[in-house]
Amino acid sequence: MTYKVEILEATKQFKETAALNQVTAKFAAGRIHGIIGRNGSGKTVLFKCICGFMQLDSGSIRIDGQTVNPAVAQNIGANTLPKSAFFVDIQNILD
């Protein structure tokens, strides 16, 4: 099977706290995937690493066989939405 995204032993630490501890996962192309977990389990950190916003301390993330860095992520359109919705008052923009 061909995988669109491969995460291999991804590790990311913030001081003594391990946000990601040797995470390995593979996501097939053409499917919808989700990641669930408790608050503070590292979901957002993982997504930021996949999108190239954060660098791993060790391990690797590959998309279409290319190791993720900010340029690769941007070229393939990897992105994320903010966790909190924000709204703009369109009337103020038009004024």
**pTM for this predicted structure:** 0.75
Closest CA to 61 of 17, 11, 15, 21: 11
Q: Which residues pair with 10 in a beta bridge?
A: 23
- The 10s digit of each residue's pLDDT in 6-65 is 999 999 999 999 999 999 999 998 888 889 999 999 999 998 898 888 899 999 999 888
Q: Which residues pair with 5 in a beta bridge?
A: 27, 63
pLDDT higher than 60, residue 93: no
- The 10s digit of each residue's pLDDT in 70-83 is 677 767 666 666 66
Q: What pLDDT, on the 0 to 100 scale, is given for residue 13?
A: 96
Mean pLDDT value across residues 91-95: 53
Distance between terminal CA atoms of the chain?
54
Report the distance separating Cα 9 and Cα 71, nearest Å. 22
Q: What pLDDT, on the 0 to 100 scale, is given for residue 23?
A: 96
